[in-house]
Amino acid sequence: MKRVYVSRDMASVALGADEVAHAFEAAGCEVVRTGSRGLFSIEPLVEVESEGKRIGFGPVGPADIAAVLDGSHEARLGDVAALPFFAGQQRFTFARCGVIDPLSLKDYAEHGGWRGLETARGMTPQAVVDAVKASGLRGRGGAGFPTGIKWQTVLDAVSDAKFIVCNADEGDSGTFADRMLVEGDPFCLIEGMAIAGHAVGASHGYIYIRSEYPFAIAAMREAIQLSAERTAPFTLEVRVGAGAYVCGEETALLESIEGKRGQVRAKPPLPALAGLFGRPTVINNLLSLAAVPFILAEGAKAYADVGFGRSRGTIPVQLAGNVKHGGLYEIGFGITLGELVNDIGGGTASGRPVRAVQVGGPLGAYFPPSMFDLPFDYEAFAQAGGLIGHAGITVFDDSVDMAHMARFAMEFCAVESCGKCTPCRIGSTRGVEVMDRIIAARDSATVVQAGRNWEGYLQKALNSRTPDRIDTGLEAQTALLRDLCDTMKHGSLCALGGFTPYPVLSALDHFPEDFGAKSPVKEAAE
Amino acid sequence: MQQEDATRLIEDWTRTHGRTRDRLLPLLHMLQEEIGFIDDAAIPAIATALNLSRADVHGVVTFYHDFRRTPAGRHVVKLCRAESCQARGATAIEKAATDRLGVPMGETRPDGQVTLEPVYCLGLCAVGPNALVDGRPVARIDAATLDRIAQEIAA
Ligand SMILES: Cc1cc2nc3c(=O)[nH]c(=O)nc-3n(C[C@H](O)[C@H](O)[C@H](O)COP(=O)(O)O)c2cc1C
Ligand code: SF4
Ligand code: FES
């Protein structure tokens, strides 16, 4: 019987992988459902095993079965791992994703699984924490905080109970690495969490997965059951989110697990000292935890040897939006934005010129192609007025209206605000209104009356509630937008309100022509 | 569903899953799964079961976008509105979907056949515009896909 491999990843299924898998079953093949290899322009991908090798074909539809089985199908890719998209990657975390049956303990063990946990269990907790420190691993959830230092705080805390919490809320548009790993290699996360438990002295862990990821929730639950014996006495459970983006913020997430409204807590106390149920808690992004088995199995040095500046190891970059070859690209830090978007991603899917990319989700900055030499590095991005976040890159072609995207950033903040602080809760709604006025003024090409003292007038407009006293001209509204962003940035408790100005102001600064400005500052300067 | 049924569901569930406060979200998910929405009339029973105040339960139910307080249509289409899908034409698809399905975003059609809801990212961001149709993921939505969805919904 011929053995074929077809992905069960949610994206592959959305593209028709289930129908393809059923067709192969009907044709008498043994079908192994894997995670996705991570290149969606070739999904649904089928790999046919022959003489111990796998020959890839993709994209494939249910009608192509015969041609695939006799090898004549025109979408023959050969060895998938040898395709340029994969050959250039450094897969430390995603080595098994797309290759193995995600729920086969046998596959996992045969592909290097559990070696990290075994090594860790032969070490003292302090030695494990030291290894994570030495690896240079920084949190992949957004802030880039050193994981080893966080773990040290929890290890040093004295308590009757401690917890490991995995943040798999992955709400950022343009990101799907957490989802892919849970669906494609859930034991890797389980192993990472068990190592964390050993390192800090925690015996129970929670995996908080957003409700928008039904496949991941099911896979994770099954994987926990299957591996319970292996991780004992460490235990795990899945908690399902309920559609609130802000629950990705670590303290809101803890509130949510506790059964409360997902409102952000003021820090201090740090979750590391008083987190879940008031106990010392390691809360890490899924990718941070899933990087740990490699670090323990291969050694901290092997991880730290790769990278750029103070950003060590690999980063699973997600190429998304209007990009020809979208997918997951795990690579050492230091690769440039341009290499990722143009060389690896192949430019836009629409074939039109790339105009902007947003890096780091809805709170990340928009960059024009003139900044594509920016290296993937936490510090370099911060210096350029942006952030890496969860390493999602959303590509836009030249049909994008950046004023519309700035408006959307404000709208999203208004929809998702937890309501705790005024600059975020009210400011975002005002931001949408300001953007509406800017767009209206731009579209009606209103010429701003000359000779007015804007400073004085703006002051009045800011304090005014009557629409007829508001100067709805472009210049006044743009100044108001900057002022509002300043208030949100400095007056918000968490990054939802505090970082929404990133996409808004970067759009305004790099694409002023979309905001009605006559002479784009940027181009004039170049 | 009758109120007694909800109360019995809550009783049965808490007997196996416990009555601590952190059970609230899992309990609400279970109720919505079984009954389709969180009826205001069920809030006192939830509050009693977990030893919380009604206001507390109400506060949680209204905070999370997932929990419905009225029944949904027979079919639910969750259409992604987030940036990566927008970059692939989701704004136009959203408009076309409201036309084709005959229901504004965020509402249930008067005949109760379909609810159209926004979702902010499904993690399928390289193959948008995307949607979940009755829980099934659908990618690269275009006019033809919308026609298929409309047919499914009519059935
Ligand atoms: C509004 C908001 C949403 C966030 N969403 C996520 C998320 O979905 N996943 C995540 O890992 N971190 C998210 N974070 C960051 C977390 O607060 C926290 O920094 C992270 O979980 C820490 O883990 P790390 O050190 O491994 O990165 C979010 C932060 C904010 C302010
Ligand atoms: S900034 Fe917004 S989301 Fe964050 S705590 Fe304040 S109101 Fe809540
Ligand atoms: S933005 Fe639509 S699926 Fe991610």
Q: Which domains are present in chain A?
A: 3-85 (3.40.30.10), 105-304 (3.40.50.11540), 307-397 (3.10.20.600), 402-525 (1.20.1440.230)
Contact assessment for residue A280 and residue A159, using Cβ atoms and an 8 Å cutoff: yes
Mean pLDDT computed over every residue of chain A? 94
DSSP string, A152-210: HHHHHS--S--EEEEEE----TT--HHHHHHHH-HHHHHHHHHHHHHHHT--EEEEEE-
- Ligand 3 in contact with B122 (CB < 6 A)? yes
User: Using a CB-CB distance cutoff of 8 angstroms, which residues of chain B are in contact with residue A259?
Assistant: 20-25, 50, 60
- Chain B residues whose C-beta is within 8 A of a chain A C-beta are 20-26, 28-29, 50, 59-60, 63-67, 82-88, 119-128, 130, 132, 135, 137-140
CA distance B1 to chain A (A): 23
CB contact under 8 A, A260 and B60: yes
- The lowest-confidence range among A220-234, A333-347, A372-386, A459-473 is A459-473
**Whether pLDDT at A246 is above 50:** yes
Residue A518, CA distances (Å) to A471, A475, A511, A512 in order? 19, 11, 11, 8
Chain B residue with Cα closest to A394:
B84
> pLDDT at position A465, please?
56
Confidence of residue A407 (pLDDT cuts 50, 70, 90): very high
Domain B75-154 has CATH 3.30.720.110: no
Binding-site residue positions of B for [2Fe-2S] cluster? 80, 85, 121, 125
User: With bands split at pLDDT 50, 70 and 90, how would you rate the model's confidence at A451?
Assistant: very low
Q: Measure A417 CA to ligand 2 centroid, in angstroms.
A: 6
Compute the nearest-CA separation of B27 from chain A (Å): 10
The contacts of residue A252 (CB under 8 Å, 6+ apart) are A244, A246, A262, A263, A264, A265, A418, A494
Q: Which two tokens stand for residue A342?
A: 């143009």
What distance in Å separates the CA atoms of residue A79 and residue A220, rounded to the nearest whole number? 29
Mean pLDDT of A248-274: 97
* Residues forming a β-bridge with A477: none
User: What is the pLDDT averaged over residues A147-168?
Assistant: 98
Q: What is the mean pLDDT of residues A102-128?
A: 98
- Each domain of chain B, given as residue ranges in start order, spans 3-63, 75-154
The helix (H) or strand (E) run that includes residue A55 is strand A53-57
Q: What is the mean pLDDT of residues A26-37?
A: 97
What would the mean pLDDT of A78-101 be, rounded to a whole number?
97
Q: What is the pLDDT of residue B155?
A: 80
% of chain A with per-residue pLDDT over 70 = 94
Closest A-chain CA to B57 = A260
C-alpha distances in Å from residue A517, one per residue of A138, A439, A443, A474, A513: 40, 11, 12, 8, 5
What pLDDT, on the 0 to 100 scale, is given for residue A96?
98
State the DSSP string of A317-351.
Answer: EEEEES-TT-EEEEEETT-BHHIIIIIIT-S-SSS
DSSP class of residue A437 equals H
Whether A321 sits inside 8 A of B65 (CB atoms) is no
pLDDT computed for residue A470 by the predictor:
73
Q: What is the pLDDT along chain B (155 residues), one digit of tens a residue?
A: 567 789 999 999 999 999 999 999 999 999 999 999 999 999 999 999 999 999 999 999 999 999 999 999 999 999 999 999 999 999 999 999 999 999 999 999 999 999 999 999 999 999 999 999 999 999 999 999 999 999 999 98
Mean pLDDT for the stretch of residues A286-291: 98
Architecture of domain B3-63: Orthogonal Bundle (1.10)
Q: What is the pLDDT of residues A369-405, one digit of tens each?
A: 999 999 999 999 999 999 999 999 999 999 999 999 9
- What pLDDT, on the 0 to 100 scale, is given for residue A452? 47
| CA-based nearest residue to B77, from B131, B123, B33 | B131
Question: What is this model's ipTM?
Answer: 0.97
CB contact under 8 A, A212 and B123: yes
| Burial class of residue A50 (count of CB atoms within 10 Å of its CB; 0-12, 13-18, 19+) | exposed
pLDDT at A446 over 70: no
- Mutate: best of B38, B63, B119, B142, partner A, most A CBs <10 A: B63
Contact B86 A412 (CB under 8 A): no
Show Cβ contacts of residue B147 under 8 Å, excluding neighbours closer than 6 positions.
B100
Q: Give the pLDDT of residue B4.
A: 78
Q: What is the pLDDT of residues A295-327, one digit of tens each?
A: 999 999 999 999 999 999 999 999 999 999 999
For residue B45 the two structure tokens come to 């029973």
Mean pLDDT to the nearest integer, A10-28: 98
- How far is residue A324's CA from residue B151's CA, in Å, rounded to a whole number? 30
